[in-house]
Amino acid sequence: MLATLERKLLSRVWHLLDEQFVSIGEGNNIRTISMNTSCPKTPLVMVHGMGAGIGMWALNLFALSRFRPLYAFDVLGFGRSSRPKFSNDPMLAEMQFVESIEAWRDKMGIDKMILLGHSLGGFLTTSYAIRYPERVEHLIVVDGWGFAVMPQNGSERTPVPRWIKILASMLSPFNPFAGIRALGFVGKHLIRKFRPDLIQTFSSVTEDEPTVVADYIYYSNSRKPSGESAFKAMTMSFGWAKNPMLSRIHKLSEKVPMTMIYGSRSWISDSSGWEAKRRRQEENENCFVDVHIIKNAGHHVYANQSEEFNNLINKICSAGGEPKKIRTKASKLSLTIQDTVSNNEHIHRNAYEGEAQTVKLNTDLSEIKQAARLEDYETIRFQVGEVDA
């Protein structure tokens, strides 16, 4: 059933792709699709998030494979890939994921890649890039899970969507999708009910069967838990990693350019991106880190605003080994800052790459010194502004 649903989601590009199961040893196989492999450019490799699979890239594959080779695979323990037993130790489980990616790369004969990961995939690809920097031409983290350090003050925690809270109450201390499996086919209808956003988002590729994407998620997670169990071992609670990536982002080689992309409406805060930028550039000011926020996109930013996302990724990839700051609607930021300036007036600044233009707001002050530098991001609330590319 999962194979059928995958094919339905990818129906518009099925005639353009090659599919295979790549053996990575110890009886494990990685479900893989590839496109435009005859192109000599550095390939883009896409790594999905928790509970997902290659079918979730349905709105991206055609656009992102036009100018370079593209590979996408079901992460070990998810989708149609093998489901081995993972360690209960969080770091060992993480390394099992990382080594499976390296074994896959080796079997595919890919020397260097532009590595893109979403959510849990962003966490794993960053861990991979730390361990194998020579294999990564550019690291792209899309709404990456597991970067932030869990705050001591519970009131500061990232808001989690209602559907996740409901599932969390059902499944703790079990695996994340244990409740869905326990409900059998009722679980499928539960996903349909609580994820109408995804059904609507993928409607352009599932016109005749609007519930295909919800059913794909259900069948992807109705099988034996494997990668899901590893994810459980790696978390303290659904939103926080036991070994957060920000605590070790300084270990990522300065030679690996990094771009972090967030949805403006995502439950994952973009503050981790700015903190990663600050920490990496503390080690080396020439270290390349770029942060983009895509307006009106949630956690599934690649699908919510697929056209803008695809255009941005293609621009990032086209920079090759010489990345550059990219000005797009996603990267122009509107920053609202409350300063103590003379009579405590509120100042609104429009900024890009840390350079601020001050605008007087309900004040007669003629001059206000620029203060919106990137290092001061902790006092700034970032929101995306509408501007031309």
Residue 238: pLDDT band with limits 50, 70, 90: low
The pLDDT of 374-382, averaged and rounded, is 31
The pLDDT of 81-104, averaged and rounded, is 98
The pLDDT of 196-203, averaged and rounded, is 86
Full set of structural domains in the chain with CATH: 2-318 (3.40.50.1820), 333-384 (no CATH)
The pLDDT of 27-47, averaged and rounded, is 98
Residue 182: pLDDT band with limits 50, 70, 90: low
Residue 186: pLDDT band with limits 50, 70, 90: low
Rounded Cα distance between 308 and 150, Å, is 31
Among 263-267, 330-334, 338-342, name the most confident range.
Answer: 263-267
Q: Count CB-CB contacts under 10 A for residue 163.
A: 14
Residue with tokens 């997902």: 52
Single pTM value for the model: 0.80
The pLDDT of 169-192, averaged and rounded, is 59
State how beta strands 235-237 and 28-35 pair.
unpaired
Rounded Cα distance between 305 and 332, Å, is 16
- Which residues, in sequence order, are bridge partners of residue 350? 334, 357
The pLDDT of 360-373, averaged and rounded, is 32
Rounded Cα distance between 12 and 35, Å, is 13
Contact call for residues 125 and 115 (beta carbons, < 8 A): yes
Share of the chain above pLDDT 70, in %: 72
pLDDT above 70: residue 51: yes
Residue 27: pLDDT band with limits 50, 70, 90: very high
The pLDDT of 184-208, averaged and rounded, is 78
Residue 152: pLDDT band with limits 50, 70, 90: confident
Residue 387: pLDDT band with limits 50, 70, 90: very low
Run of H or E residues at 94: helix 90-108
Residue 134: CA count within 13 A, CB half-sphere:
2
Look over the chain and give the mean of its residue pLDDT values, rounded to a whole number.
Answer: 80
The pLDDT of 273-295, averaged and rounded, is 95
Residue 206: pLDDT band with limits 50, 70, 90: confident
Share of the chain above pLDDT 90, in %: 61
pLDDT above 80: residue 330: no
Rounded Cα distance between 361 and 344, Å, is 11
